[in-house]
Amino acid sequence: MKLNPSRAHLDVKLLTSQLTNMANARDIMHPGLCAIALVIRAREGPRFVFHYPPHPDGKAVVREARFGTELDTEPISPVLEGEESDEEFGEEENIGGEVEHGTDADGTHVAPWDRLWEFPTADLESILTPSRAFHKRRFELSLDPVVFVSYPVHIREEGGWKKKRFKKSRRRKEGEREGEEAKESMGKEEEEDEGGMTMFNVVFMVNVSREEEDGRVQEVFEHVVKKFNKALNHAQASDNYVWKESEMILGMKDKAREEIAQTQNVELSSLLILAQHLIYWRRAIAIPPLHARETYIVSPNCDSRQLPIASIAWKKAFPLAPSLPSYLASLSAAPRPYKHFSPSKNHRPTYLDMLAWAMRGGWVTPLRTYAWILVHPEIIYEVDYQLKAAAVEKARNKSKTAESDQDLLSSSTDSSTHFPKDPNSMTTSQAAEHARLARLARKTAEETAIFAAEFEKLPPPVATAHPSLNTAPHLKHLSPRVAA
């Protein structure tokens, strides 16, 4: 399929549809094109916009065994291996077109657009957005048996997507008018790109046999990849097409994630009860919020005997990351803020996912400084003495208040709420209430007197220069306390 670069204003949507249909059609799969993806780099970092089809075929392609001689001029068409192939790493395509959701090994929800074969798109987005050195050059990545080939396009250093060319005008006024219109158009373009992308990369995935790989990849690059990206570059320069479409697709993906989260919503109170239950029965651990500025080390409680099994699960979860032993060794080498282990800021989200995985498995723990405070008997006795003194004072004030209230009630002549002065003129209910209050007042006074008498027997505390060496008799029954 050849594209005419001079007709870059053609309908890019129709062109995209044709290419994706070519990727999905079985009768023309012989060119080896099995999937297409769009990756951009915005000012907040790289984003994997989409890939099609949702479940591309990842089976290794082999040449069909034929009978005859080398003079046979019939083309040899590649076929897909059957179930005996040991190089299969993809899943069968969802012919019905339904959006299938699932979970990965650690129970995290995974949408179809979050993975390309077994590779997380969060890992691929950093790899498939190369630096400016690959601007309008061939970029190729091989993940056996699939070859990723693309033609990355970066924004120009002056801020545009194409070099501006101004025609010479015959009249001076027309020249000034064109200059003003050019400035307005450049300003409009800068406004549209504000907060937008700085590069895009349409990646084509080719799956052919090893014998045909070099030639077929070169053909796809020259006749499809290169010209298609040039057409998109023109559409981006003229109408900001790529960024508008990418923004719309990313917004739809974010909206879908929100809906999924709402359908699985659980009340906070129920979630806390469940978490406490799992932690109590040692079926879960509480993980504090992870942060790149925190320092993490290999947990001293990790079971190194489980490292081989954990390494296999680690490789499946993070196929492009260093091995689990290498990752743990780097954390143990020199404790420092975790952000220093990430190669760049774009890798930081992935490294935080790696950290969360290691924390859940008990391989890593935050580095904490713990302090213990030893409280000596002299200080314990002094604090206890002050608390008892405050309690005695409070009890005495309460007793005085009760007596004054009793006197006030006895001196009152209001028969509805208080008691008359003459006990003989009280009603039965008033006499019972008067007797009850009198008993309470006597009991409070007796308890206060007993408590105060016991307090008076206590020797007053004496502060010494070295509390740990104080061996006074009244401290012998006290033991030092340790507070964390």
Domain count, the chain: 3
Which of 376, 370, 371, 387 is closest to 481 using CA atoms?
Answer: 376
Q: How many CB atoms within 10 Å of residue 58?
A: 21
Residues 208 and 354 placed together within one structural domain of the fold: no
Mean pLDDT of 348-361: 91
Residues 6 or more apart in contact with residue 173 via CB below 8 angstroms = none
How many Å apart are CA 83 and CA 91, to the nearest integer?
A: 12
Q: Is residue 184 part of a domain?
A: no
Of 143, 33, 12, 36, the C-alpha closest to 90 is 143
DSSP state of 49: E
Instruction: Check if the beta carbon of residue 204 is closer than 8 Å to that of residue 141.
Output: no
Mean pLDDT, to the nearest integer, of 281-300?
87
Do both 247 and 99 map to the same domain? Answer: yes
Question: Could you tell me if residue 175 is inside a domain?
Answer: no
Residue 189 forms part of a structural domain = no
CB 33 within 8 A of CB 206: yes
Residues 136, 253 share a domain? yes
Question: Would you say 119 and 91 are in contact if contact means Cβ atoms under 8 Å apart?
Answer: no
* 31 inside domain: yes
- How confident is the model at residue 99, as a pLDDT? 45
What's the CA dihedral at 51, 53, 59, 62 to 10 degrees? Answer: -100
User: Does 50 share its domain with 115?
Assistant: yes
Question: For 51-63, how does the pLDDT look when each residue is reduced to its tens digit (9 = 90+)?
Answer: 888 888 766 665 5
Do 245 and 126 lie in one domain? The reply is yes
Q: Which of these three, 302, 331, 366, is where a domain ends?
A: 366
Cis peptide before 145, with omega less than 30 degrees from 0?
yes
Task: Give me the domain span that covers residue 119.
Answer: 5-165+196-259
- Residue 419 near residue 409, CB atoms below 8 Å: yes
For residues 347 and 355, is the Cβ–Cβ distance under 8 A?
no
- Average pLDDT, stretch 332-358? 90
Q: What is the mean pLDDT of residues 447-458?
A: 86
Task: Look up the pTM and report it.
Answer: 0.43
- Tokens representing residue 280 in the block: 């109590």
- Note whether residue 81 is domain-resident: yes
| Structural domain contains residue 180 | no
Indicate whether 176 belongs to any domain: no
Distances (CA, A) of 119 to 143, 204, 313, 319: 10, 16, 13, 7
Instruction: Say how far apart CA 454 and CA 448 lie, in whole Å.
Output: 10
User: Last residue of some domain: 259, 275, 293?
Assistant: 259
> 270 and 139 share a domain?
no
Model confidence pLDDT, tens digit, residues 176-194 = 565 555 555 555 444 444 4
Q: What is the DSSP string of 431-458?
A: HHHHHHHHHHHHHHHHHHHHHHHHHHHS
Quick one: 205 and 285 in the same domain?
A: no
What is the Cα–Cα distance from 124 to 312, expressed in whole angstroms?
Answer: 20
Q: For residue 154, give every residue at least 6 positions away whose Cβ sits within 8 Å of its Cβ, in sequence order, or none.
A: 132, 135, 198, 199
User: Are residues 136 and 59 part of one domain?
Assistant: yes
Q: What is the reported pLDDT for 324?
A: 94
340 token code pair:
């220093």
Where does the pLDDT of residue 11 fall: very low under 50, low under 70, confident under 90, or very high at 90 and above? very low
Identify whether residues 221 and 241 lie together within a single domain: yes
Q: Are residues 212 and 334 in the same domain?
A: no
- Asked whether residue 64 falls in the same domain as residue 124, the answer is yes
Instruction: Locate 245 and state its tokens.
Output: 């479409």
Tell me how far CA of residue 463 lies from CA of 19, 389, 411, in angstroms: 88, 17, 50
Alpha helices in 68-132 (DSSP H): 121-127
Phi then psi for residue 52, to 5 deg, are -145, 140
**DSSP assignment letter at 52:** E
CA–CA gap between residue 202 and residue 204 (Å, rounded): 7
Beta strand extents in 355-429 (DSSP E only): 364-366, 373-375
Is residue 181 in some structural domain? no
Q: Does residue 315 register a pLDDT over 90?
A: yes
For residues 155-164, average pLDDT: 79
Highest mean pLDDT among 87-96, 201-210, 290-299, 395-404: 290-299
The chain-wide mean pLDDT, for the chain, equals 75
Tell me: do 312 and 289 sit in the same domain.
yes
Where a domain ends, among 314, 342, 366? 366
Confirm if 231 and 15 have CB atoms less than 8 A apart: yes
**C-beta separation of 156 from 162 below 8 A:** yes
Q: Looking at the chain, how many residues does it have?
A: 484
